[in-house]
A and B are shown apart, each in its own frame.
Chain A
Amino acid sequence: MTNLTMTNITVQYSGNKPKKLRFWHKAARYSLYILLILFALFYIMPLFVMVITSLKSLDEIHQGGLLNLPENITFEPWFVAWSSACAGVSCNGLKGFFFNSVLLVVPAVFIATLIGAINGYALMHWRFKGSEIIFALLLFGCFIPFQIVLLPMAILLGKMHLSGSITGLIMVHAIYGIPFTTMFFRNYYMTIPVELVKAAKIDGAGFFRIFFSIFLPLSPPIIVVTIIWEFTNIWNDFLFGISFSAAGTQPITVALNNIVNSTTGVKEYNVDMAAAIIAALPTLLVYIFAGKYFIRGLSAGSVKG
């Protein structure tokens, strides 16, 4: 009896697959593709609308047909958005604010990443009394909502004479980023064997020597993850930007808001759309070019020694 069943099974597997089964297999596969394509279209729709709207003239927009492709492509709205759109009183477009954001994001990301790396390394591999508690408290920092720190931070910035300056904003973002970057690096460094530190100690290397010669060269995957994370967060931030900046130091998100809301006369949807795309472009590009490293970095451990 058992013998019989056994042979049955072997026949099924070693022989040709029944045609019917293969058909259903394919059908399932194609329906899956169709479903995924539909989802993708759904997600890309807003961007699509933004892009085509930004390339239309105002007249064409007023004719309606939100999803229609532009009849006469014009780049005028992009130029306006970049250099002459009015945000509040000044009418110099986004460009100044774009560079404000660059000036803000680059140092803030750099500082948060570097400090996070050193923190993670110290908390993981140079344990001291209370290091676990410090890490727990730092983690707690990840869950503090922006709103809670607004007022104390404003007071602190005032006391430090950094109110309304880009330096002040850099500091705020760097500090706010440290809990996240520390967590990223600490968890990554957990996969680096302690023996590596022991060996280096015997070789005579100290805290920073070990960090720069051994840990940092092992870190590119997690550095990429951290940079993407921090860059996106800080570039897209609006609340800190609007709370702690002054007229000339606003980041691009705040300027975008001002452009869209400063309605004198007709609403220029095409300029608004172009401005929004310009404001979003850097984060978009980061994802397109570094996205795969992001996934890889998140799932990667360190190299085995």
Chain B
Amino acid sequence: MQNNQQKETEKMTDNHILSIKNLYKNYGSTEVLKDINIDIDEGEFLVLVGPSGCGKSTLLNCIAGLEEITSGTIEIAKLDMSSVPPKDRNIAMVFQSYALYPTMNVEKNITFGMKVRGESATAQKAALENVTEILQIGDLLKRKPAQLSGGQRQRVAMGRALVRNPKLFLFDEPLSNLDAKLRVEMRGEIKRLYQKLKTSIVYVTHDQTEAMNLATQLAVMKGGELQQLGPPQEIYDKPNSIFVAGFIGSPAMNFIEGELQIDGKAKFFKTQLNNEEILISIDHYQFESAVSHGQKLTLGIRPEYITGIKPDVDDKMLLSVELIPTLIETNGFDKHVDLKFGDGEIGGRFMPQEQISFNEAHLTHLNFSKISIFDRLSGWRV
């Protein structure tokens, strides 16, 4: 009862542009989305990210009303939209394949929706002029989609969404058909547009770099379930599962397997390196759940904490060992090096001026001041 009241007041004061509660979606007997809960404030840029087939597009289509949901509710701008047709949801969508109407020229593509909704010719003209200026597509207006390049089509598709002036923009992998250079360019353009228009966006991608770059809120999905939702930096720093930790960040986080050792008040992560037992002090790590002596754990450490230059941290949190490089990649501002570590490998980031040779042992410092620790069996953060 009290709980309910609390919820009510929360609802009065919150600022959610999108609120998804207990959403399930089945195709026949296969569950494609399982118990999705997402709340997003107005003006947020939510990116849904996850491996192929995890249900991102399905979720977006459910928000758009293009797919019926099996159970749960979807609110857009505080209105229950769970069973409202797409045209009345106050949304606009940009598709991966652009989905421009092939027989209409750019101008007609952009104004088609307004025409269908019966808006006046003057309103259409004004809206067209507005987006033409924002997107710089003035000289394309009379062309058919087939006569446009990928980037231009992308821009027109965004124009079609912009004239709608919706409460919520939906993007389904809008950049994945572009080449690498154009993709980075358009990514910047979308971000600039977002900062200028201050709209709310839900954006789907399977590219974690794109996700990190664009998002103000990041939702990581796997197998139809929401794994973690939060600001990108928080997810990068404190991934709540091995899956999220491995998916977000490039090069990927390193995982070391071991177990928990509790010595009186002191906690250690015990692991093996070349038949030698190593104890890593993890007193500084804030456990989020109860752990016990001997519990099987996986320790995650990002490559930027594995370096050749000794970092300025307490020796207790440092492991300095000679490791053998198996792969050296240079990109100009640092070197990504994979090193043999016990039976496996770990990747570190080294300064470009450091002399590192393939197969020659190199003194490497593992800085454990910022780590993530997971329960090895469940895969969740502890």
Contact = CB atoms under 8 A, between A and B. Distances in A.
27 contacts: A195-B95, A195-B96, A195-B97, A195-B99, A196-B101, A196-B102, A198-B64, A198-B66, A198-B86, A198-B93, A198-B99, A199-B95, A200-B112, A201-B87, A202-B66, A202-B86, A202-B87, A202-B91, A202-B113, A203-B87, A204-B116, A205-B116, A209-B116, A218-B102, A303-B103, A305-B99, A305-B101
Contacts of B95: 195, 198-199
B116 A193 contact: no
A193 B97 contact: yes
Contacts of B61: 198
A303 B146 contact: yes
Given A199-B100, A204-B117, A305-B99, 14 more contacts: A195-B98, A198-B66, A199-B95, A199-B99, A201-B66, A201-B85, A201-B87, A202-B64, A203-B160, A213-B101, A217-B103, A305-B97, A305-B100, A305-B101
A131 B112 CA distance: 29
Contacts of B146: 303-304
A198 B116 CA distance: 15
Given A213-B112, A305-B145, A193 B103 contact: no
A296 B97 CA distance: 25
A202 to B, nearest CB: 5
A6 B145 CA distance: 49
A302 interface: yes
Interface string B309-326: 000000000000000000
A214 interface: yes
Contacts of B48: none
B92 interface: yes
Contacts of B97: 193, 195, 305
Nearest to A193: B97
Interface in B75-97: 85-87, 91-93, 95-97
Contacts of A209: 116
B102 A203 contact: no
A305 B98 contact: yes
- 10 closest A-B pairs (Cβ-Cβ)? A203-B113, A195-B99, A204-B87, A217-B103, A199-B99, A303-B102, A195-B95, A204-B116, A305-B102, A202-B86
A196 B97 CA distance: 9
Contacts of A305: 97-102, 145
Contacts of B160: 199, 203
Given A304-B146, A305-B145, A202 B92 contact: yes
Nearest to A198: B66
Nearest to B166: A202
A203 B103 contact: no
Interface of A: 193, 195-196, 198-205, 209, 213-214, 217-218, 302-305
B324 to A, nearest CB: 39
A51 to B, nearest CB: 43
Contacts of A200: 101, 112
A52 B380 CA distance: 90
Nearest to B103: A217
A262 to B, nearest CB: 53
A59 to B, nearest CB: 60
A194 to B, nearest CB: 9
A207 to B, nearest CB: 12
A200 B85 CA distance: 12
Nearest to B89: A202
Contacts of A218: 102-103
Among the interface residues A196, A203, A205, which one has the most CB atoms of the partner chain B within 10 A? A203
Nearest to B111: A203
Among the interface residues B64, B93, B101, B112, which one has the most CB atoms of the partner chain A within 10 A? B101
Interface string B143-159: 00110000000000000
Contacts of B103: 214, 217-218, 303
A193 B100 CA distance: 10
A204 B97 CA distance: 19
Contacts of B116: 203-205, 209
Nearest to B91: A202
Nearest to A202: B86
Contacts of A203: 87, 112-113, 116, 160
Interface string B166-209: 00000000000000000000000000000000000000000000
A302 B102 contact: yes
Contacts of A198: 61, 64, 66, 86, 93, 95, 99
A196 B117 CA distance: 18
B235 to A, nearest CB: 30
B150 to A, nearest CB: 11
Contacts of B100: 199, 305
A196 B112 contact: no
A218 B144 CA distance: 13
Contacts of A193: 97, 99
A196 B87 contact: no
Contacts of B92: 202
A305 B168 CA distance: 24
Nearest to B101: A214
A209 B92 CA distance: 19
B173 to A, nearest CB: 11
A205 B116 CA distance: 6
Nearest to B116: A204
Given A213-B112, A304-B146, A305-B145, A202 B93 contact: yes
